[in-house]
Amino acid sequence: MSDTTTKEAVKDADRAPAAKAGSGDAANGLSRRRLESRRKLIAAARQLFVERGYHATRPQDISKLAGVGHGTFYLHFTDKLDCFLTFADEVCDELEVVLQDHLGRARNVEESVKETLYAIYEYSDANPGVLAAAMTNTAMLSVEETKRRSPMERWAGQWTEMVLQWRAEKDITSDVDPLLSGHLIVGAISQGMAYGYLYQVDRDKLINDIAQALFGALTRQ
Amino acid sequence: MSDTTTKEAVKDADRAPAAKAGSGDAANGLSRRRLESRRKLIAAARQLFVERGYHATRPQDISKLAGVGHGTFYLHFTDKLDCFLTFADEVCDELEVVLQDHLGRARNVEESVKETLYAIYEYSDANPGVLAAAMTNTAMLSVEETKRRSPMERWAGQWTEMVLQWRAEKDITSDVDPLLSGHLIVGAISQGMAYGYLYQVDRDKLINDIAQALFGALTRQ
DNA sequence: CCCTTCACCTGACAAATTGTCAATACGCAT
DNA sequence: ATGCGTATTGACAATTTGTCAGGTGAAGGG
C-alpha cells in the first residue's frame, strides 16, 4: 500500500516545497497554509487519542474535528501510526521541559528519581490522560517500526545519560550496563506508575516506594 | 455491533450447550467437533500472531489457515482481541510450567531471579517469537479491557507472591508494597529483555546484570 | 489591479476488512 | 436409518482506509 517511495515523498513535502512560486514562508520553506492545516490536525489527533485511545480514533474523525478534508490527513501523515508517533513525540518534548525543571532542584540520585516521578504527576495533572495515551508500547502498533524511536526508547536514552553522569560522579555504585539500566528503569517506572494509577495508590507513598526500589537497584550489593 | 448480550451469548456457548441431544462429550459439555474447530483456530492464530504480529493478522487469515469457515471464527471468539488474549493466556500457562521447573532449583532470591530469566530464554529458544508476541501491553489493543487480565498483569501477580514469600522468609529486606514490587519487576524485566534482544546483548551478561539490579531493588538501603 | 502558476486542499471512489445471519451439514441417540 | 439440535458456512451489509483527478487560493509578475 505504501512503499518507501511514497513515505519519503510525504516526508520531503514536509521538509521543503523548493520555494518556487507560491511558497510563502521562505524561512522554513513551508507555506503558512500548510503549517496551519498540520497544526489543526495534530491538535485534533491529540484530543481524540486522549479521549478515545488509539484504536477508536479514525483518520476521518481527526480530519473532521480538525475541520479539513479527509484527504488532507494523508498529505501530512502517511497513516494513523505516523500521526500517532508525531503526537507522542510532541508529548515527549513537553514532558522533557517539565522534567528538566524538576531535575534542576535535585541534589542527588534519590532526589532525581523522586523529582522525575513528581514531574510525571505534574504533567499528568496539567494534561490528564495525555501521558497514558502517548507512552504506549509502539511495538504493538506495528511490526516493522525501526525507523522512528518509540517514546519509551527515547526516554530510556535520557535515563541512560543520567545513569552515566551519576556513575561519573560516584553517586551510584552499580556496574550494570548503563543503557540496560535506562531500559530497566523506564520499564519499572511505566509499569509502576500504571499500577499506582489503576489501584489508586497514594501519590507520595508510590513515589517513595518506587524511588527506594530504583535507588537500591542502582547500588551494588 | 456487539453489545453485552451478544458477547455473553458466545461465552455461554463456550461453557455448556446444555447437553440436550447432540452434545457429545458429556464430561465437559462440549462437542468433539466444536473443540476441534477451536483447537485448529487457536493453533492458526498462534502461528500468525507470531509470524506477522497482531495487526497484520486478520480473522479471515486465521480462519483460512485453520481450514474452517470465516464465520466460525466469530463463534469461538467475540473478536480478534478475544482471540489474542486466549492465545496469550495459553502462552502464560506454558511459560509458567517452565518457570516452576526452574524455580525448583533455586535456593535463594538471587538464584530465583536468575532462574526466571533463564526460564524465559529456554522458552524463547523452544518457541521463537512467541513470548514477544504474547507479552504485549494490551492497554494499547483496546481502551476498555477491564474484564480480562493481561499477561503482564498476571505475571506481576506471580512475582508479588514470590516477593511475599521471600519477605516472610527474611530473604529480602524491602518494605515496598509487594504488589507494586511485582509490577516494577515485570516492567523492568520486559523492557530489559526486549533491550537485550534488540541489541544482541550476551545472554549471561544480561541475566547477571538484570539479576543484580533486581536484587538491589529488593534490598532496603 | 488582474493574471498566472503552483502548492495545497477536497471529497467521491475503489479496495479491503469486519461482523452477521439464514441456510446447511454434521453427529449422536434412538 | 431417522430425527433433532449443535456447529459450520460463505455471501452480504456496514465500516474503514488510502488514492486521485479536479478545484481553490495565495504569492509574484506584468
Whether A112 and A71 map to the same domain: the answer is no
Q: pLDDT by residue (tens digit) across B17-64?
A: 444 444 444 445 568 889 999 999 999 999 999 999 888 999 999 999
Q: Is B191's CB within 8 Å of A183's CB?
A: yes
Residue spans of alpha helices (H) in B104-202: 109-126, 130-134, 151-168, 178-198
Query: Which nucleotide's C1' sits nearest to the alpha carbon of B40?
Result: D8
Each of the 221 residues of chain A gets a pLDDT tens digit; together they read 333 333 333 444 444 444 444 444 444 666 888 999 999 999 999 999 999 988 899 999 999 999 999 999 999 999 999 999 999 999 999 999 999 999 999 988 999 999 999 999 999 999 999 998 887 766 555 545 556 778 888 889 999 999 999 999 989 888 899 999 999 999 999 999 989 988 999 999 999 999 999 999 998 75
B85-99, B117-131, B132-146, B167-181: least confident range: B132-146
Whether B72 and B166 map to the same domain: the answer is no
Burial of A165 (0-12, 13-18, 19+ CB in 10 A): middle
| pLDDT bracket for residue B221 (50, 70, 90) | low
Per-residue confidence (pLDDT) for residue A138, from 0 to 100: 60
Per-residue confidence (pLDDT) for residue B39, from 0 to 100: 97
Of A152, A173, A151, A169, nearest in space to B213 by CA = A173
Asked if residue B72 keeps its beta carbon closer than 7 A to nucleic acid strand D, the reply is: yes
Is the model's pLDDT at B10 over the cut of 60?
Answer: no
Per-residue confidence (pLDDT) for residue A6, from 0 to 100: 37
**CATH for B158:** 1.10.357.10
**Pair B121, B58: CB distance under 8 Å:** no
Per-residue confidence (pLDDT) for residue A7, from 0 to 100: 37
Per-residue confidence (pLDDT) for residue A5, from 0 to 100: 36
Whether B118 and B185 map to the same domain: the answer is yes
Per-residue confidence (pLDDT) for residue A137, from 0 to 100: 64
Measure the CA–CA gap between A120 and A99, rounded to whole angstroms: 8
**Pair A21, A34: CB distance under 8 Å:** no
Q: How many structural domains are present in chain A?
A: 2
Q: Which residue matches cell numbers 498462534?
A: B46
Asked if residue A24 keeps its beta carbon closer than 7 A to nucleic acid strand D, the reply is: yes
Q: Is A176's CB within 8 Å of B56's CB?
A: no
**What is the 3 state secondary structure string of B48-81?**
HHHHHCCCCCCHHHHHHHHCCCHHHHHHHCCCHH
Whether A67 and A86 map to the same domain: the answer is no
Query: Which residues bind near strand C, taking a CB cut-off of 7 Å?
Result: A 13, 17-18, 20-23, 30-31, 33-34, 36-37, 68-72, 74-76; B 1-2, 6, 21-22, 24, 31-33, 58-60, 70-71, 74, 79-80
Q: Which three cell numbers stand for residue A170?
A: 560516584
A118-122, A130-134, B187-191, B201-205: least confident range: A130-134
Q: Is B56's CB within 8 Å of A186's CB?
A: no
Measure the CA–CA gap between B155 and B133, rounded to whole angstroms: 15
Chain B nearest CA to A206, separation (Å): 8
Q: Choose one of B52, B77, B102: the last residue of a domain.
A: B77
Is the model's pLDDT at B5 over the cut of 90?
Answer: no
Is the model's pLDDT at B187 over the cut of 70?
Answer: yes
Whether A113 and A67 map to the same domain: the answer is no
- The protein footprint on chain C, as nucleotides within 7 A of a CB, is 5-13, 17-22, 26-29
For residue B164, the enclosing domain spans: 82-219
B162-189 average pLDDT score: 93
Q: Which three cell numbers stand for residue A207?
A: 513515589
Q: Which three cell numbers stand for residue A9?
A: 515523498
pTM across the whole model: 0.83
Burial of B20 (0-12, 13-18, 19+ CB in 10 A): exposed
Q: What percent of chain B has pLDDT over 70?
A: 81
Whether A103 and A197 map to the same domain: the answer is yes
Measure the CA–CA gap between A11 and A9, rounded to whole angstroms: 5
Per-residue confidence (pLDDT) for residue A150, from 0 to 100: 80
| pLDDT bracket for residue B135 (50, 70, 90) | confident
Whether A59 and A164 map to the same domain: the answer is no
Whether A106 and A197 map to the same domain: the answer is yes
Of A151, A27, A31, nearest in space to A86 by CA = A151
Whether B19 and B102 map to the same domain: the answer is no
A192 contacts in B (CB within 8 Å)?
A: 180, 183-184, 187
Mean pLDDT of chain B: 84
Chains A and B form CB pairs within 8 A to the count of: 145
Q: Choose one of B40, B56, B77: the last residue of a domain.
A: B77
Q: Is B180's CB within 8 Å of A156's CB?
A: no
Chain B residue with CA closest to A192: the answer is: B184
Chain A nearest CA to B187, separation (Å): 4
Per-residue confidence (pLDDT) for residue A148, from 0 to 100: 77
Per-residue confidence (pLDDT) for residue A76, from 0 to 100: 97
**CATH for A73:** 1.10.10.60
Residue spans of alpha helices (H) in chain A: 4-15, 32-52, 59-66, 70-76, 80-103, 109-126, 130-134, 151-168, 178-198, 203-217
Whether B38 and B117 map to the same domain: the answer is no
Is the model's pLDDT at B16 over the cut of 50?
Answer: no
Q: Is A19 left (phi over 0), alpha (psi -120 to 50) or beta?
A: left
**What is the 3 state secondary structure string of A144-176?**
CCCCCCCHHHHHHHHHHHHHHHHHHCCCCCCCC
Chain B nearest CA to A197, separation (Å): 11
Is the model's pLDDT at B104 over the cut of 80?
Answer: yes
Phi, psi of B25 (to 5 degrees): -65, 105
Whether A88 and A192 map to the same domain: the answer is yes
Whether A27 and A131 map to the same domain: the answer is no
Q: What residues does A98 pair with on adjacent strands? A: none
Q: Choose one of B13, B45, B77: the last residue of a domain.
A: B77
Measure the CA–CA gap between A103 and A127, rounded to whole angstroms: 20
